[in-house]
Amino acid sequence: MSGVDDMFQHIKQMMGMTTTVVVCKLRPEHLLEYKKRRSEKNKKAEEAKLLVAKLEVIQAEMNVMNGELWQWIYKEYGLPSDQKYEIDKDGVIVKHVDKKSDERHE
């Protein structure tokens, strides 16, 4: 079940709309295996959270670096910083404009 399904099931139980029925009980060796696997899954989930946090830090660093690069380019080449530019593989700075606004300047 998903977290949302679990939440709804819990709400139904709290409202007295459902009841818990024992289906069976794990054998002791299976209970140990279940706890072991659950623990491994939880460790992997924590590892994933740490990796996501590290990736978010790296992404933030990259955003700062990119912002600093473009501020330098705007200043160095006298470009207005309120417009979006790209640099092609040959180092040419380009700006994309709508065809209609481009035709007005011809």
Residue numbers of the domain that contains 16:
10-104
pLDDT value of position 14: 77
Half-sphere exposure of 90 (CA within 13 A, CB side): 2
- 2 occurs within a structural domain: no
Q: Is residue 15 part of a domain?
A: yes
**3-state DSSP call for residue 97?**
coil
* Total-model pTM: 0.58
How does pLDDT run across 19-76, given as a tens digit for each residue? 778 899 999 999 999 999 999 999 999 999 999 999 999 999 999 999 999 999 999 9
Query: How many domains, in total, are found in the chain?
Result: 1
**Confidence band of 99 (pLDDT split at 50, 70, 90):** confident
- Domain annotation covers residue 1: no
Residue 4, domain member (yes or no): no
